[in-house]
Amino acid sequence: MSSFRIRPRFVHTLDLSLNEARDLIVCTLARSSPGVEVKAFPGYIGLHIVEKERNFWSPRLALHLEPASEQSTRVEGIYGPSAEVWSFFLFSYLIVGSLGLFSGILGGAQLAIGSSPWGLWICGTAAVLAIALYLGAQLGQKLGAWQTFELHQAYQNAIGRPAEVH
């Protein structure tokens, strides 16, 4: 379950209608996976680690269900952190990326006019921060790897077949 991707995912098709697939997944998980909390909405199922075992780095599995045909359902699963952690990383990447872009432009302009290119120092610092954010995301994945495996196993048990993660 280890991956260099920030949000590992899988896509496959179940030979069941949308409602049958949703009911199968939700009912089976509710019966056979006590360590997994299930939140179901139309077209979406969220799998979380139960509250007492959940940590800052605990993953969740978001399942998006859509009809592929009348009697088949396309399931897309995406592993990721909680919404709060994902928002933190998303906005951190946005801020660091913007800072790096504009300071790089400033440093390039400073070089072009023969001034001291102090903007490039900020750009380099932003690059280091971006790498640190990526490594932090990878560390969180490694810390939550066992829980990710548990979520994946629970899902595979619910559908009765393997689902390959990309």
Q: What digits encode the pLDDT tens for the residues 75-103?
A: 999 999 988 998 999 999 999 999 999 99
pLDDT tens digit sequence for 38-59: 999 999 999 999 999 999 889 9
How far is 155 from 160, CA to CA, in rounded Å? 8
Q: CB neighbours (10 Å) of residue 13? A: 12
Q: Is the full-model pTM beyond 0.85?
A: no
pLDDT at 74: 96
Cα-based distances in Å from 8 to 11, 62, 138: 11, 11, 11
- Smallest Cα–Cα separation from 164: which of 152, 146, 151, 148? 152
Residue 111: enclosing H or E segment and its boundaries?
helix 83-112
Per-residue pLDDT, averaged over 22-35, amounts to 91
pLDDT tens digit sequence for 121-132: 999 999 999 999
Does residue 116 surpass a pLDDT of 80? yes
